[in-house]
Amino acid sequence: MSDPELDVVEFLLTTVVYGERRDLDPDDLPPAYRAAFWSDGEIERPLSATTTTATDATGVERPWNAISGLMFTDRDDFSGTISFTDRDMAEEWFLGRADADRVADNPVLAAAYGDEFEGVDHERARAENRPARADRAFIDAMLEESFDTDDEEEEEMLDLVDVRAPAEVEMTLDDLVLTPDQEGEIQKIVKAIEHRDYLARIGLREIGKLLFVGPPGTGKTSVARALAHDLDLPFVEVKLSMITSQYLGETAKNVEKVFEVAKRLSPCILFMDEFDFVAKTRSSDEHAAIKRAVNTLLKSIDEISLIQDEVLLIGATNHPDQLDAAAWRRFDEIVNFPKPDHDMRADILRIVTREMDIVDFDPSTLAEMTEGLTGSDLRLVLREAVLEALTEERTTLTQQDLEDAIQDFEERDNLKNMDMIDGDHDALVAGGGDFGGDGGHDHDH
User: DSSP letters along 127-191, please?
Assistant: HHSPPGGGSHHHHHHHHHHHS-TTSHHHHHHHHHEEEE-GGG----GGGS---HHHHHHHHHHHH
pLDDT along the chain (445 residues), means of 10: 89 96 96 93 92 96 96 94 96 96 97 94 94 91 75 68 92 93 92 88 86 94 95 90 58 80 91 80 61 82 90 93 83 93 95 94 96 94 95 95 93 63 38 35 37
Evaluate whether 334 touches 292 at the Cβ level (below 8 Å).
no
Q: In one letter, which amino acid is 23? A: D
C-alpha span between 387 and 381 (Å, rounded)? 10
Do you know the residue count of the chain? 445
Q: What angle do CA 268, 174, 57 make, to 5 degrees?
A: 60
Cα-trace Rg, the chain: 26
Half-sphere exposure of 325 (CA within 13 A, CB side): 0
The three-state secondary structure class of 41 is coil
Express the helix, strand and coil content of the chain in percent, nearest 5 each.
Answer: 55, 10, 35
Whether residue 164 contacts residue 218, with contact meaning beta carbons closer than 8 Å, is answered with no
Q: What is the pLDDT of residue 291?
A: 73
The confidence score (pLDDT) of residue 231 equals: 93
Q: Is 323 helix (H, G, I), strand (E, B) or coil?
A: coil
Is the CB of residue 421 less than 8 Å from the CB of residue 429? no
* CA gap 190, 237 in Å, rounded: 19
Decide yes or no: CATH 3.40.50.300 for domain 148-336: yes
In the chain, CATH 1.10.8.60 sits at: 342-430
Which pLDDT belongs to residue 150?
Answer: 67
Q: Can you tell me whether residue 124 is helix, strand or coil? A: helix
Q: How confident is the model at residue 149, as a pLDDT?
A: 62
Where, residue-wise, is CATH 3.40.50.300 in the chain?
Answer: 148-336
Measured between alpha carbons, how far is 187 from 181 in angstroms, rounded to an integer?
Answer: 10
DSSP track, 218-277: SSHHHHHHHHHHHHT--EEEEEGGGGG-TT-S-HHHHHHHHHHHHHHH-SEEEEEE-THH
* pLDDT at residue 343 in the model: 96
Q: Which amino acid is at 119?
A: G
Q: What is the pLDDT of residue 280?
A: 61
pLDDT at 322: 83
The one-letter amino acid code at 321 reads D
**Residue 239: beta bridge partners?**
273
C-beta atoms surrounding 133 within 10 Å = 19
- What is the pLDDT at residue 423? 45
Looking at residue 1, its pLDDT comes to 52
Residue-level pLDDT at 441 = 35
Measured CA angle at 214 (ends 292, 229), to 5 deg:
85
pLDDT of residue 417: 61
- Rounded CA separation 137/29 (Å): 14
Q: What is the pLDDT, as a whole number, of residue 207?
A: 83
Candidates 339, 277, 275, 283; CA nearest to 313 is 275
CATH number of 342-430, picked from 1.10.150.130, 3.90.228.20, 3.90.1010.10, 1.10.8.60: 1.10.8.60
Residues near 311 by beta carbon (within 8 Å), at least 6 away in sequence: 208, 259, 262, 263, 266, 267, 268, 269, 270, 304, 305
